[in-house]
Amino acid sequence: MLRKCLYLYYLAASIFFISCSKEKRSERAAEKMKEFVANISTYAKSKKSNFIIIPQNGPELATVGLDATSELDANYLQHIDAITVEELFYFNTYAPDNKRIQLLDRLKELKPIIVSEMVSKNSDVHHAYELNAAHGFIPFVRDSANYYYEHIPDTIINENNNDILSMNDVKNVLYFIGGASVYQNKSDYLAAIANTNFDLVIIDLFFGNDPLTPQDLEQISHKKNGGKRLLIAYVSIGSAEKYRYYWKENWRLHHPCFIKKPYPGYPDEFYVKYWDKDWQKIIYGSPDSYIDKIISAGFDGAFLDNVEAYHYLYFDE
């Protein structure tokens, strides 16, 4: 009996230790993502002082305790210019994420909040816009046919001809991250963007294998109505994509070691150990880094995707 009791005691202690260890490693992963975003921001703004940094998802990083009710993290917030989240009120059907809504209601006093919603029925589009507007968020609503952000919607909410010089001026947004994939040539792609009145446009740095140029961006730097707009370039900092310029032919899972695990639903993408220095060098810090390419092209800022990768990885040295 004593031996059994001792076994149960050690088993419980082991479970407790493993649980605490995982929790600590998860917290460290979040802290490492905060550091990564802050370092990207510091570097980019040293190159271009008004460069805009917009992390996608992971709004909990803006708190000290990674919880909607935690104290806000002033240090992290000073490095970012807006916060974006996906599927806040809608994910096909109405499914409000009340914890995040509560947090974003606090954060909106400090940073613009951009929300991408996905609805399954056209009749829900107006409701999704209304819900976000009521909270003071800037919404982009797409249907399931536009899951990969490949199409430009016909309607713009809060359309205006103002010059958009900072994030505080933005009234509407176009997510067009996958747009280049549906156009056979760059001229048609750029013309499609130029023919819109969106205040802020989020697009890929590349058309095919070639980065966009300052001359390309000049063609889309103003709305059709003449007002200046902001152009933001997509970059995934929490995952590696096999079709990007940095990918080497011999790369695979765990080789190099920062390629950590498959990204479910995306066969050409892998979560990475984003705290790894070799991965970070790909993203920022040299003329050939992703952020430098974005700045050289003339973008106003960077849209940092997969910031929430800390949810799916434990930190290890």
Q: CA–CA separation, 177 vs 162, rounded Å? A: 24
Could you please report the per-residue DSSP string of 141-167?
A: EEEGGGTTS-S--S--TT-------SG
Q: CA–CA separation, 178 vs 129, rounded Å? A: 22
Q: What is the mean pLDDT of residues 268-285?
A: 97
According to CATH, the topology of domain 31-311 is TIM Barrel (3.20.20)
Instruction: Evaluate if residue 248 carries a pLDDT over 90.
Output: yes
Of the chain, the percentage scoring pLDDT greater than 90 comes to 85
Can you give the residue ranges of every domain in the chain?
31-311
Q: CA–CA separation, 302 vs 85, rounded Å? A: 15
Q: CA–CA separation, 76 vs 302, rounded Å? A: 16
The pLDDT tens digits of the residues spanning 64-113 come to: 988 888 899 999 999 999 999 999 999 999 999 999 999 999 999 999 99
Cα distances from 215 to residues 166, 227, 296, 311, in angstroms, run 21, 18, 11, 39
Instruction: Evaluate if residue 239 carries a pLDDT over 60.
Output: yes
The pLDDT tens digits of the residues spanning 20-38 come to: 455 666 789 999 999 999 9
Q: CA–CA separation, 260 vs 274, rounded Å? A: 9
- Phi, psi dihedral angles at 99 (to 5 degrees): -65, -45
The pLDDT tens digits of the residues spanning 158-216 come to: 999 999 999 999 999 999 999 999 999 999 999 999 999 999 999 999 999 999 999 99
Structure confidence at residue 291 (pLDDT): 98
pTM summary value: 0.92
Q: What is the mean pLDDT of residues 286-291?
A: 96
Residues 6+ apart with CB under 8 A from 239: 263, 266, 269, 270, 271, 272, 305, 306, 309
The pLDDT tens digits of the residues spanning 113-124 come to: 999 999 999 899
| Distinct helix (H) and strand (E) counts, the chain | 8, 13
Structure confidence at residue 20 (pLDDT): 43
Q: CA–CA separation, 279 vs 258, rounded Å? A: 7
The pLDDT tens digits of the residues spanning 4-14 come to: 444 444 444 44
Q: CA–CA separation, 142 vs 135, rounded Å? A: 19
The neighbour count for residue 142, using CB atoms within 10 Å, is 21
- At 155, the pLDDT band (50, 70, 90 cuts) reads confident
Structure confidence at residue 84 (pLDDT): 98
- At 257, the pLDDT band (50, 70, 90 cuts) reads very high
Q: CA–CA separation, 167 vs 149, rounded Å? A: 21
Instruction: Evaluate if residue 290 carries a pLDDT over 70.
Output: yes
